[in-house]
A = this chain, B = another copy of it.
Amino acid sequence: MNLIQSLRPEARQAPESGIVAVANHGRGKPGLIPLWAGESDLTTPDFISQKTIAALQAGETFYTWQRGIPELRQALADYHARHFGGSFRPDEFIVTGSGMQSIQMALDAVAGHGDEVIYLSPAWPNFPAAVGIAGATGVAVPLERTTQGGWVCDPGAIEAAITPRTRALFVNTPSNPTGWTADRETLAAILAIARRHDLWIVADEIYALFCYGANRAPSFLDVADPEDRIIYVNTFSKNWAMTGWRMGWLKIHPSLQQVFENLVQYSTSGVPQFLQRGGVAALEEGDDFLAGQVEQAGRCRDALVDRLVATGRVRAVPPQGAFYLFFEIEGVTDTRAAAISIVDEANVGLAPGTAFGPGGEGFFRACFHRRLDLIEEAADRLAGWISAR
Which of A's residues lie within 8 Å of B, judged by CB? Answer: 1-4, 6-8, 10-12, 14-17, 20, 37, 39, 43-44, 49, 52-53, 56-57, 59-64, 66, 97-98, 100-101, 104, 108-115, 126, 129-130, 133, 135, 167, 198, 200, 227, 229, 241-246, 253, 255-256, 258-259, 261-263, 265-275
Contact = CB atoms under 8 A, between A and B. Distances in A.
Contacts of A133: 108, 263, 266-267
A7 B110 contact: yes
A263 B14 contact: yes
Given A244-B63, A265-B129, A7 B259 contact: yes
A4 B227 CA distance: 11
Contact of A244 (B16, B53, B60): B60
Contacts of A273: 244
Contacts of A114: 113
Nearest to A265: B17
Q: Which of A60, A227, A255, A267 has the most CB of B within 10 A?
A: A267
A271 B112 CA distance: 26
A12 B259 contact: yes
Nearest to A52: B56
Contacts of A2: 255
Contact of A63 (B11, B37, B59, B227): B37
Given A10-B112, A129-B266, A265-B17, A61 B245 contact: yes
Given A108-B11, A108-B133, A133-B108, A270 B246 contact: yes
Contacts of A262: 11, 14-17, 129
Contacts of A104: 266-268
Closest 3 CB pairs of A and B: A43-B59, A113-B113, A44-B61
9 contacts: A14-B263, A17-B262, A37-B63, A61-B242, A61-B245, A63-B243, A126-B265, A246-B268, A246-B272
B56 A49 contact: yes
Given A10-B112, A16-B258, A113-B113, 13 more contacts: A4-B255, A4-B256, A7-B110, A8-B108, A8-B112, A11-B110, A14-B266, A44-B56, A53-B53, A61-B245, A133-B266, A135-B135, A246-B272
A341 to B, nearest CB: 24
Given A53-B53, A56-B49, A62-B244, A101 B8 contact: no
A262 B53 CA distance: 31
Given A6-B198, A135-B113, A267 B100 contact: yes
Contacts of A39: 62-63
Contacts of A112: 8, 10, 113, 135
A135 B108 CA distance: 10
Contacts of A167: 8
B111 A8 contact: yes
A133 B229 CA distance: 20
Contact of A269 (B16, B64, B98, B229): B98
Contacts of A275: 272
Given A6-B198, A108-B133, A61 B265 contact: no
Given A256-B7, A259-B4, A263-B133, A244 B109 contact: no
A37 B322 CA distance: 43
Nearest to A43: B59
Contacts of A229: 3, 6
Nearest to A109: B11
B109 A8 contact: yes
Nearest to A105: B11
Nearest to A267: B104
